[in-house]
Amino acid sequence: MMNPSAIAKFPAVGRVAERRLAALDEIACMTDAMMALAAAGDWDALPEAQVARDAALRACFSAPLTDDNALAAADKIQQLLRQNEALVRKVTEAKHKLSEDMQRSKQDYKAVSAYLA
């Protein structure tokens, strides 16, 4: 019986490689949609979108690309990294604003409680 880890994956070529590159473009669109969710404050939908994007990324990199397609893929990956950094910034800003809002609400609650006492 062969050792499963000894099986080498063949690189994606031809139409398979083209589909991989197209999948990277679709993942970029998914990231844009996630940015729109964050901008709209739809925090409930964002984790589900993240799970779908992660699955798409894993599927996209299930086999290596040839050197010919690796440069195009690298450019697309750089774009995805920039998008992801922007998404993380937006989520971090929202988290910070929420923290400030919670602090302000606590102060308002204390003030109202003190007035009513």
Alpha-carbon gap, residue 59 to 12, rounded angstroms: 12
Q: What is the mean pLDDT of residues 74-95?
A: 94
Tokens (6 digits) for 40 = 């709209």
Give per-residue burial for 32-56: e unless 16+ CB within 10 Å, then b: eebbebbeeeeeeebeebeeebeee
pLDDT value for 8: 46
Q: What is the mean pLDDT of residues 61-70?
A: 79
Is a pLDDT exceeding 70 seen at residue 79?
A: yes
Q: What is the mean pLDDT of residues 85-108?
A: 93
Q: What is the mean pLDDT of residues 30-45?
A: 94
Question: Using 50, 70 and 90 to split pLDDT, how confident is the model at 5?
Answer: low
pLDDT value for 68: 78
